[in-house]
Amino acid sequence: MNVEKTSGYYLAWLSIPAITLVMAIFSFYWASVGLTTPGAEDYGNRLFWIASIVLIMGIAYFSWIWLRGLNVENSAKEIFETCPFCGSPNTKLIISTGKETVECLNCGAKWTIDYSLFGKIESITLIAPDREGERKNVLGIKKPVEFWINLKNENLPTKSPVQKSTDVSDEDIEAKLRKLKKLYDDGLLTEEEYQMKKKELLKML
């Protein structure tokens, strides 16, 4: 999986720590002035503690943003190691501020990720189906992580390349295709089952 971090992510990652660092330096400077000025020791002491608190808050925010991004990235890599639809490993995680997105560069499917305060992925929403239109029924609906992991595991065997068998002739495959079409016309197969089996047979030609 490729990982892309937007400029907004880096801005959020660095802006608050930079501001708090400047405030802390400014406060430390005036605290030192107060501590060395007769009659202003109390003022300098208060500024010193304010500067310390501001600096600690900046470090805490910086650490939180970094850990949250790391948790989201690691979890997304595990879930989308391969695309749940086409099985391709050519996926990309786009880390921004707010909602991260995952895109399959092979079939075009795209998801948004919802996560907790500390980066634990809570749900995943399909926002763009793959080019073949699989799972349009879940488009725009939040689904738990387990749903996409199970779908990925289910599709791994069926999405693997099918080798042309030397024991099956083209005539046999054509006969199977005609039989498959008849089963579909008779209502014994769903549209999804028919299309999936048809793809497998066509790859064997």
How does pLDDT run across 82-103, given as a tens digit for each residue?
A: 998 888 889 999 887 667 899 9
Query: 162 pLDDT band (50/70/90 cuts)?
Result: very low
Share of the chain above pLDDT 70, in %: 84
What is the average per-residue pLDDT within 118-143? 84
Query: 63 pLDDT band (50/70/90 cuts)?
Result: confident
Q: Check residue 13 and give its pLDDT.
A: 67
3-state helix, strand, coil in the chain (%, to 5): 55, 15, 30
- Residue 134 has a CB neighbour count (10 Å cut-off) of 20
Output DSSP code: residue 92.
Answer: E
Supply the DSSP string of 136-164, one letter for each residue. GGGBT-EE-HHHHHHHHHHHHHHHSPPPP
Residue with the bigger pLDDT between 42 and 151: it is 151
Residue 111 has pLDDT above 90, yes or no: yes
The pLDDT tens digits for 164-188 are 444 567 778 888 888 888 888 877 7
Task: State the average pLDDT for the chain.
Answer: 79
Taking the complete model, does pTM exceed 0.75, yes or no?
no
Query: 70 pLDDT band (50/70/90 cuts)?
Result: confident
Phi and psi for 16 in degrees, rounded to 5? -65, -45
